Amino acid sequence: MTADVGVVGMAVMGQNLALNMENKGYTVAVYNRTRERTEELAEGRGRGLRIVPTYDLPAFVSALSRPRRVLSMVKAGPGTDAVLEELFPLLEEGDLVMDGGNAHFADTERRLAQADRRGLRYLGVGVSGGEYGALHGPAIMPGGHREGYETVEEVLTETAAQGPEGPCCAYLGPGSAGHYVKMVHNGIEYAIMQTIAESYDVMKRGLSMAPAEMAEVFSRWNQGELAGYLLEITQKILRYSDPHTDEPLVELVLDTAQQKGTGKWSTQVALDEGAGAPTIAAAVFARIVSALKGERMAASEVLGGPAPELGADKNQVLEEMHGALYLTVVSAYDQGLRQLRQASAERGYGLSLSEVARVWMDGCIIRSRLLFPIRKALSEKPDLPFLFLAAPFSSRWREHHCALRSTVASAHQAGIPVPAMSSALDFIDGYRTGRLPANLIQAQRDFFGAHTYQRVDKDGTFHTQWDEL
């Protein structure tokens, strides 16, 4: 069989994407550096299907129809470079290579230049949805050579999740646009996960709620405006009992959250570009603090604090927490989209943020009902600077900001950290404040470093010898 498309890298994501494409009617050539992974698919789930196993890259390339279309699902970093170094010389002008790993966007730009020099087409493709999404339909975020996308558009749109407003796949822009969008997607993911975890912590320590009771709350919240994948899986996790102990499994999981780097990259780049994303950054730092398990255990014996009980009406606390969760999650989306808008202007991506929101509506980890009003707001006003300035978010701010303040204050009084919620509140309060105390900071900078300042009453730049008084 001559294959329509090829997939390199037969870990879980690569295998599932190959099976997904085959299920859509395509013949798929597959290759993995270690032969066993390829055999596992060919002799297992791929037996009898239009799967063409190959055991070296020359054979893999020979199995593909022209122009060749290759999707690399190799772990980002040196592994991807090693595959491309061997793959590129085997291809011909006009062939397409797609990198579906979580590559850093700067690496994607470098690889695009390498492909250009060989006359190859190249796409950096963000893929979100985990192993289930890869098999049944992920959100796909391609960027790079437009001509390359046109040769594979049908394959990708059919492989992607079929959302309420079309396939969750769209060409996002030139260069590293696709991988940049995926990076920010993961930053938003970090922030939403941290916010849900903070809600769980307040319920557990502040209200002494059992996992099953918390599951009921999250399930109820998942029926309304906040409905989304992360709330859905949260209530399922809280209901799961360990088969060995019959205890809630979540309580047996070590409290040190790991990370693969994309959330960290999103924060680093936001700082480099001056994009306001404090809630995403707070989520990254919360994971870093969680990794200090030994230090935290020692500190818990030394550093005293209040008892974590909230001592308030449970129903009222939960109602306020729902409003706090809503505002924080919307703020996380806003901060990510703000970073994308700024990056698009600086890097020439030409991103349509309403289209990004549409692609995220299904298949991906941050899919939620909130993306419907977000897309609507961005469609009506593409240059919208702040989601809370548009309906329905402006009215939700008026409705819930007291709940967010109360939740943050109560958690702090009880010694329960809520960094995501706190940062969201501070960011929105800062954004809505007409005059911030940065005037004093600028005066201090001028005092010790002669950095100059501007005035509110006259044009120009000024410097003062402040110690002459």
CA nearest 103: which of 119, 81, 88? 81
Structure tokens at 441: 């900071």
- How far is 289 from 304, CA to CA, in rounded Å? 18
Q: What is the pLDDT of residue 263?
A: 84
* The domain boundary residue, chosen from 118, 148, 175: 175
Give the CATH number, domain containing residue 449.
1.20.5.320
- How far is 294 from 273, CA to CA, in rounded Å? 35
222 with 268, same domain?
yes
Q: pLDDT tier at 261 (50, 70, 90 boundaries)? A: confident
Question: At what angle are helices 278-290 and 419-431 packed, to 10 degrees?
Answer: 160
Structure tokens at 205: 């320590």
Q: Is the pLDDT of residue 1 over 80?
A: no
Whether 236 is catalytic: no
Q: HSE (CB half, 13 Å, CA atoms) of 364?
A: 28
Q: What is the pTM of this model?
A: 0.95
Q: What is the pLDDT of residue 468?
A: 84
Domain that holds residue 458: 440-468
Share of the chain above pLDDT 90, in %: 95
Q: Is the pLDDT of residue 469 over 80?
A: no
Q: Is the pLDDT of residue 206 over 90?
A: yes
407 with 321, same domain?
yes
Amino acid type, 440? L
* The domain boundary residue, chosen from 175, 197, 214: 175
Provide mean pLDDT across the span 444-461. 96
30 with 87, same domain?
yes
* The domain boundary residue, chosen from 149, 175, 201: 175
Q: Is the pLDDT of residue 370 over 90?
A: yes
In this structure, are residues 86 and 54 in contact, taking their beta carbons and an 8 Å threshold?
Answer: no
446 with 346, same domain?
no
Provide mean pLDDT across the span 92-101. 96
Average predicted confidence (pLDDT) for the chain: 96
Number of domains in the chain: 3
Helix (H) or strand (E) holding 70: strand 69-72
Alpha carbon of 359 to those of 72, 86, 126, 371, 375: distances in Å? 21, 33, 11, 10, 10
pLDDT in tens, 108-121: 999 999 999 999 99
In the numeric block, the tokens 């008026």 are attached to 398
Q: Is the pLDDT of residue 142 over 80?
A: yes
In this structure, are residues 416 and 308 in contact, taking their beta carbons and an 8 Å threshold?
Answer: yes
Provide mean pLDDT across the span 383-398. 97
Q: Is the pLDDT of residue 51 over 90?
A: yes
Over 359-370, what HEC string results? HCCCCCCCCECC
The catalytic position among 24, 158, 182, 204 is: 182
Q: What is the pLDDT of residue 25?
A: 96
Provide mean pLDDT across the span 284-303. 96
Q: pLDDT tier at 266 (50, 70, 90 boundaries)? A: very high
Q: Is the pLDDT of residue 436 over 80?
A: yes
The torsion region of residue 222 among left (phi > 0), alpha (psi -120 to 50) and beta comes to alpha
376 with 289, same domain?
yes
69-72/96-99 β-pairing? parallel
Alpha carbon of 212 to those of 203, 221, 233, 243, 267: distances in Å? 11, 14, 13, 16, 34
Q: pLDDT tier at 312 (50, 70, 90 boundaries)? A: confident
**Cα 55 to the chain's mean position, in Å?**
34
In this structure, are residues 349 and 173 in contact, taking their beta carbons and an 8 Å threshold?
Answer: yes
Give the CATH number, domain containing residue 370.
1.10.1040.10
Q: What is the pLDDT of residue 260?
A: 74
Give the CATH number, domain containing residue 47.
3.40.50.720
In this structure, are residues 237 and 219 in contact, taking their beta carbons and an 8 Å threshold?
Answer: no
Q: What is the DSSP letter of 137?
A: -
Whether 189 is catalytic: yes
Q: pLDDT tier at 318 (50, 70, 90 boundaries)? A: very high
335 with 464, same domain?
no
Q: Is the pLDDT of residue 377 over 80?
A: yes
pLDDT in tens, 340-365: 999 999 999 999 999 999 999 999 99
Q: DSSP characters for 76-99? A: TTHHHHHHHHHHGGGS-TT-EEEE
- How far is 143 from 123, CA to CA, in rounded Å? 5
Q: What is the pLDDT of residue 441?
A: 97
Q: Is the pLDDT of residue 135 over 80?
A: yes
Question: At what angle are helices 314-347 and 211-221 packed, to 10 degrees?
Answer: 60
**Cα 456 to the chain's mean position, in Å?**
39
229 with 122, same domain?
no
446 with 415, same domain?
no
Torsional sign, CA 97, 100, 105, 107? negative
In this structure, are residues 357 and 380 in contact, taking their beta carbons and an 8 Å threshold?
Answer: no
pLDDT in tens, 219-254: 999 999 999 999 999 999 999 999 999 999 999 999
Provide mean pLDDT across the span 290-300. 96
pLDDT in tens, 403-429: 999 999 999 999 999 999 999 999 999
132 with 249, same domain?
no
Q: pLDDT tier at 84 (50, 70, 90 boundaries)? A: very high
109 with 195, same domain?
no
227 with 367, same domain?
yes
The catalytic position among 22, 189, 320, 355 is: 189
Structure tokens at 449: 């470093």
Structure tokens at 305: 């604090």
64 with 128, same domain?
yes
